[in-house]
Amino acid sequence: MTVLAGPHATAVEASVERLVFVREDEYTVARVSADGVGEFVASGRALAGVQPGETVRLTGEWDRHPRHGGRLVVELCERVVPSTVRAIRLYLGSGLIRGIGPRLAHAIVSHFGEQTLTVIDTAPERLTEVINIGVTRQAQIVQAWAEQKAIAALMIVLQGFGVSPLLAAKIYQVFGDDSGEVLATDPYRLIGRVRGIAFHTADRIALRSGVPESSPRRVQAAVVDRLDSAAARDGHCFLPLPALVAAVAELVGQDDDLVHRAVDALAAERRVVVEASPSDPGQAVVYAKEQHAREVALAGHLARLLTARSTLPMRAYAEDESLDEDQRAAVNLALTSTVSVITGGPGCGKSHTLKVIAATVRAMGGTVTLAAPTGKAARRLSELTGLPATTVHRLLARRPEPEEGLLFHRSPAEADLVVVDEASMLDLHLATRLASAIPSGGHLLLVGDGDQLPSIGPGSVLADLLRVPGIPRVRLTRVFRQAQDSGIVRAAHRVRAGELPGLPGGGGFWFEELADPEQVADRVVHLATVAIPRKQSVTADRVQVLCPMRGGVTGTAELGRRLQERLNPAREGAPEHWSGPSVFRAGDRVMPIRNNYDKGVFNGETATVTAVDPQERLIEIRTDEGETVRYSFGELDELSHAYAISVHRSQGSEYPFVVAPIVAEAGGVMLRRQLLYTLVTRAKSWVVLVGDREALELAVHRTGRRRHTGLAPRLALALDG
């Protein structure tokens, strides 16, 4: 171990004891220890990706921090093989090598001493000399050791390209032993395959590897990336050709002709589809192949359902006297139209109407399936109607045997009537799967609020259907008496109309004016963790913080970190694991942000972390559905903390109390009427907005941009034909 100290620079070999803090930009604070120096704090972006147990050679300068005291500001971090007995024991017992925990690490190092890593590397069969290590455990350790060495080597390669070493494990998870070859020969293959790698990252690797800026492969990768980004970020199903060409030309710094040739080449390979705009034949548009196929398929299946003869048993039924005229029209529509839509704002009786529809179909001898896009929305639907409900994902994934009390006796999608609530959340992919599963003659009823945000995924299915004249629909507009007294309902309807709610509010809606974003963040955390729980005599988990954006001091990342430290801080001796800027602890509230059909969890569900197991390198969660699911440390980018979530991810959920910052950080680009309306309608008892009045006015008056979709004209054309 070498320690070089001087007035300006220090080089020290140290063991990483624990991570203290990791910021979104990868700035990392860690506690490390070195012989002759003891334990101290090291900080800097150069530490990105270090894990407890690793031995690193740090180069930097000493300074003093008001909180941490003396610290080493790191300019260079190099991973080295631990050489001392203590460092080797710490390394093996840290969980970096799956299958080895602290006790087994102690036994292995006690047996082999300083030669431990050499034995694992060159004579791994000798591991069976250690008690509790059999052939199976020995093979597991050898495989995990090889993976860790490969990932460490990838980290060095990535750092040489100026790319975050945090991506190494993700790349290895996808490409395995071929990772090095992919980086060297075709880094554009990383795009879309490795989460967190878009064009900019792959392009940096490619250009530093000598790929020419005018390479057709480079420009084609940029075209695909712009289409994928438009779908993921803005929900577009296609881009107009001129807009796509301009965006790609700017991205790669090349002329338009080269981009046009790249688009033509991709079209020839059937990776993209270039066609006349469904709504404007004079304009060319470009789809990613998958988006085009889904949009065409969805239009076809909806046309099939709309034109099929109903198989719903029709018998005389007594009209429910509790319904108003519009609600009775909605019931009749659901019974007579094979595809129909019911829309309406809060307090307009959608849930009661659904309950009557389901009861009427059952009384006529038919079967009903009630579904919603998320687990929370399905539970809420079940509570409001008193009938069983499932998620759309599970509806499509299973074919249960008939059970007593269920409303369906075949596949749930083959019921006489399939009802999907919160239909504004249906994206193109899920809607296509749903429509394809319903047999001709079955009825599909979509229920939702067309003024809410569109789906997280690409498409705007509900809004598109409402633009097709041939789709039967009823809009419920009457706000019932019991809802008129709700300040939340009153505020929501004013926002939907483009009017500022009465301020500061009352009856469940409240606006607290603060201008400084830092003060807003502090106030939101205090309200969510202290003020509201104390005043309402509830626990803090009954309060949900919703944010219009991710970044900034009032975004989901920073507020989520503050809330976690307040509600579930680090505990001495309790295991935790850092994955990028997120630390996972038992007791954390989390949310899957990707559908994982193998695990049976879906985007938008919520769960609680029940265990963090460093030895097996996994965490265990228990979903609100009561299911236990395990995620390896390499899969944690599929989970997000749920202390503060985006308004988009709150769709379909209802919370007793909601607190939200409303500030114009970063220009307030996310502040729009649909977002504010969706936010307000997520609260059941109280919603408290904290922020700038001008930002609130901006949100009320600014409307959202329509997504580029072709479903409406495709379906209208199919019905006309």
CA 84 from chain center: how many Å? 42
Query: Pairing state of beta strands 589-592 and 639-641?
Result: antiparallel
Taking alpha carbons only, the member of 624, 614, 562, 558 closest to residue 590 is 624
CA 136 – CA 718 distance, rounded (Å):
60
Q: In this structure, which amino acid lies at residue 52?
A: P
Residue partners of 414: CB distance under 8 A and separation at least 6: 408, 437, 438, 439, 442
289-294 long-range contacts (CB < 8 A, ≥24 apart) are 291/227, 291/231, 291/237, 291/238, 291/428, 291/458, 292/237, 292/238, 294/428, 294/429, 294/432
CA 547 – CA 517 distance, rounded (Å):
13
| Bridge partners (DSSP) listed for residue 399 | none
Backbone dihedral angles phi then psi of residue 79, each to the nearest 5 degrees: -80, 135
DSSP strands (E only) in 522-572: 543-547
Q: Is 347 annotated as a binding residue?
A: yes
DSSP 256-308: HHHHHHHHHHHHHTTSEEEEE-SS-TTSEEEEEHHHHHHHHHHHHHHHHHHHS
CA 383 – CA 144 distance, rounded (Å):
47
CA quadruple 112, 115, 120, 125: dihedral positive or negative? Answer: negative
| Two tokens, residue 566 | 């307040």
CA 292 – CA 297 distance, rounded (Å):
8
Q: Is 351 annotated as a binding residue?
A: yes
| Two tokens, residue 565 | 């430290």
Please tell me whether residue 185 adopts helix, strand or coil conformation: helix
Find the radius of gyration of the CA atoms of the chain.
28
| Bridge partners (DSSP) listed for residue 44 | 28
Taking alpha carbons only, the member of 530, 526, 529, 482 closest to residue 508 is 482
DSSP strands (E only) in 357-442: 368-372, 390-391, 417-420
CA 170 – CA 380 distance, rounded (Å):
36
| Two tokens, residue 131 | 């008690």
- CB count in 10 Å sphere of residue 147: 18
Angle (CA) 708 671 238, round 5°: 10
Q: Is 77 annotated as a binding residue?
A: no
CA distances, 109 to each of 17, 54, 90, 433 (Å): 18, 16, 10, 54
The residue written with tokens 């579930």 in the block is: 568
Q: Is 348 annotated as a binding residue?
A: yes
Taking alpha carbons only, the member of 448, 500, 509 closest to residue 680 is 509
* Burial zone of 402 (CB within 10 Å; 0-12 exposed, 13-18 middle, 19+ buried): exposed
Extract the annotated binding site for ATP: 347-351
Extract the annotated binding site: 347-351
